[in-house]
């Protein structure tokens, strides 16, 4: 392989890891995972989200803003209300897969061999 091509591929894979780390960082907050879960059934206003998620309005708005700025959520105005919806179905699929696996590990901590655990240790 030519040195220029190898350098380009290395830079590209570095960028891929940077973008993946950015997405994982956005999804690393439990509150953001709760928001995504609440929006899986369809769009909701901030008021409706507050009814489902135990937090303050400023805290919810801060997390919604992060999810919106990174493209995970979309929003629209309806009168005075801001309505949010999932924009990145791939992010939701990723979250659902990870959370489902961890739920299995929490419910049946000794049933899975270490090699099959996502967390790598018994979650209790």
**pLDDT tens column, 74-121:** 999 999 999 999 999 899 899 888 888 888 888 877 777 777 777 766
Sequence-ordered list of residues with C-beta below 8 angstroms from that of 83, at least 6 positions apart, any chain: 43, 44, 45, 75, 76, 77
Same structural domain, 74 and 103: no
pLDDT at residue 1 above 60?
no
Instruction: Output the domain CATH number for residue 80.
Output: 1.10.10.10
Same structural domain, 21 and 51: yes
Q: What percent of the chain has pLDDT over 70?
A: 87
Same structural domain, 102 and 42: no
Same structural domain, 77 and 44: yes
Of the two residues 120 and 70, the one the predictor is more confident about is 70
pLDDT at residue 45 above 80?
yes
Same structural domain, 63 and 120: no
- In the prediction, which pLDDT does 46 show? 96
Same structural domain, 30 and 40: yes
Same structural domain, 99 and 69: no
Total number of domains in the chain = 2
Range of the domain at 110: 88-124
- In the prediction, which pLDDT does 2 show? 63
CA distance 37 to 63: 13
């Amino acid at each position: 392989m030519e040195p220029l091509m190898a350098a380009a591929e290395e830079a590209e894979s570095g960028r891929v890891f940077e973008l993946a780390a950015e997405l994982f960082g956005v999804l690393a907050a439990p509150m953001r995972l709760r928001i995504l879960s609440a929006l899986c059934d369809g769009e909701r206003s901030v008021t409706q989200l507050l009814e489902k998620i135990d937090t303050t309005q400023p805290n919810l708005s801060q997390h919604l803003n992060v999810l919106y700025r990174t493209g995970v959520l979309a929003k629209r105005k309806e009168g005075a209300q801001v309505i949010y919806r999932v924009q990145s179905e791939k992010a939701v699929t990723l979250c659902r897969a990870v959370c489902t696996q961890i739920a299995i590990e929490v419910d049946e901590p000794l049933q899975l061999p270490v090699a099959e655990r996502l967390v790598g240790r018994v979650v209790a």
